[in-house]
């Protein structure tokens, strides 16, 4: 009944505005919270139609609700992260799952990772082309294999052995991404050059705190438009794009992956908290707004700690993001000034 009401409140809020009390907070109940992102980049108000902006905010809200529902039911932070990311992967609006960008060969290669802050167990997959929801395969690697990172056909062989169904690679294709590929190919003159900045990024991710006080982080992506050579970005690199440790924080990143790998972004935030006694906000600000900017790395992160503090920062004009905080308040945002 309560959750039915909460869903109604959210449905209304999604239809009417940006912020809503998602569910009333229960006194004395342990805090739960979730935050998500749908990629950082150069998005400006002029580039987004009202319809598209509304669609993105609705998709973010649905993903937040799916994750928060898990938490409200007493499920783990890992389950909440998976549930939220599945919604974002299934949406054609984000560069993950259905709607992933094309590589230079006109196909899709997907990466994903998840990490459980309670155990620091982790799972990551790189370069898979036939897994509908890569985040769920990353979770399966974490829980059902002795390994952390599996790549390519081997990762899919593992998936089949665990009962995953394979999908055709064109399940991930959308007309919008095909046009982006054509544009990237027209503008990339050299074989080793990068696509235009606005076509480089695109990732989805989630971080969550569950009733048991455990945090988790997950990230999923189709990588870089027109990518070649089996390029792997920061998403499946534990410590770079994805990291979680109950003692510090859970982080999911989005941005120019190479800089995030070289900066070990997610672990650097955790290390600043652990060794320099910085707050989550201070650590994220230092890494995302100072160190990464100085280094030339565009992007952002979402993060959470065991107290349920949520920090979402980016050094780009925009980052698709949203949260349901410990008070039950749902927010979504796109631009820097929100």
Question: Where does this chain bind a copy of itself (CB under 8 A)?
Answer: 115, 120-122, 126-127, 144-155, 157-158, 161, 191-194, 228-233, 237-240, 243, 257-258, 261-264, 267-268, 271-272, 274-276, 295
Query: Do 82 and 218 meet the contact criterion of CB atoms below 8 Å apart?
Result: yes
Q: Which is nearer to a copy of itself, 62 or 269 (CB)?
A: 269
Q: How far is the CB of 238 from a copy of itself (least distance, A)?
A: 5
Q: Which is nearer to a copy of itself, 73 or 276 (CB)?
A: 276
Q: Which residues are catalytic?
A: 203
Residue length of the chain:
338
**Secondary structure of residue 314 in the 3-state scheme:** strand
Q: How far is the CB of 245 from a copy of itself (least distance, A)?
A: 9
The residues, any chain, with a CB within 8 Å of residue 229's CB and separated by 6 or more, are: none
Q: How far is the CB of 135 from a copy of itself (least distance, A)?
A: 18
Tokens of 125: 């997959």
Q: How far is the CB of 308 from a copy of itself (least distance, A)?
A: 24
Tokens of 185: 């190919």
Query: Do 80 and 206 meet the contact criterion of CB atoms below 8 Å apart?
Result: yes
Q: Which is nearer to a copy of itself, 207 or 324 (CB)?
A: 207
**What angle do the packed helices 152-161 and 134-144 form, to 10 degrees?**
70
**Secondary structure of residue 313 in the 3-state scheme:** strand
Q: Which is nearer to a copy of itself, 86 or 115 (CB)?
A: 115
Q: What are phi and psi of 301, to 5 degrees?
A: -140, 155
């Amino acid at each position: 009944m309560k959750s039915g009401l909460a869903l109604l409140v959210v449905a209304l809020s999604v239809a009417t505005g940006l912020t809503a009390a998602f569910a009333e907070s229960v006194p004395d109940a342990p805090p739960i919270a979730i935050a998500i992102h749908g990629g950082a980049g150069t998005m400006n108000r002029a580039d987004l139609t009202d319809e598209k902006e509304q669609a993105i905010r609705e998709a973010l809200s649905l993903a937040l609700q799916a994750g928060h529902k898990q938490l409200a039911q007493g499920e783990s932070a890992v389950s909440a992260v998976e549930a939220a990311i599945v919604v974002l992967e299934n949406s054609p609006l984000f560069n993950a799952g259905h709607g992933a960008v094309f590589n230079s060969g006109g196909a899709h290669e997907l990466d994903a990772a998840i990490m459980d802050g309670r155990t620091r167990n982790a799972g990551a997959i790189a370069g898979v082309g036939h897994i509908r929801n890569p985040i769920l395969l990353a979770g399966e690697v974490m829980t059902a294999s002795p390994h952390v990172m599996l790549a390519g056909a081997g990762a899919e062989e593992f998936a089949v052995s665990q009962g995953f169904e394979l999908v055709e690679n064109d399940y991930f294709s959308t007309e919008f991404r095909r046009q982006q590929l054509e544009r990237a190919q027209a503008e990339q003159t050299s074989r080793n050059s990068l696509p235009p900045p606005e076509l480089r990024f695109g990732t989805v991710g989630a971080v969550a705190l569950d009733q048991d006080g455990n945090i988790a982080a997950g990230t999923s992506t189709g990588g870089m438009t027109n990518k070649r050579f089996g390029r792997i970005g920061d998403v499946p690199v534990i410590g770079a794009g994805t990291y979680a440790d109950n003692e510090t924080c859970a982080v999911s990143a989005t941005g120019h992956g190479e800089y995030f790998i070289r900066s070990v972004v997610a672990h650097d935030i955790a290390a600043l908290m652990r060794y320099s006694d910085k707050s989550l906000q201070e650590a994220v600000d230092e890494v995302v707004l100072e160190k990464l900017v100085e280094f030339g790395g565009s992007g952002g992160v979402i993060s959470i700690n065991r107290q349920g503090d949520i920090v979402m920062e980016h050094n780009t004009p925009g980052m698709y993001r949203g949260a349901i905080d410990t008070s039950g308040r749902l927010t979504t945002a796109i631009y820097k000034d929100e």
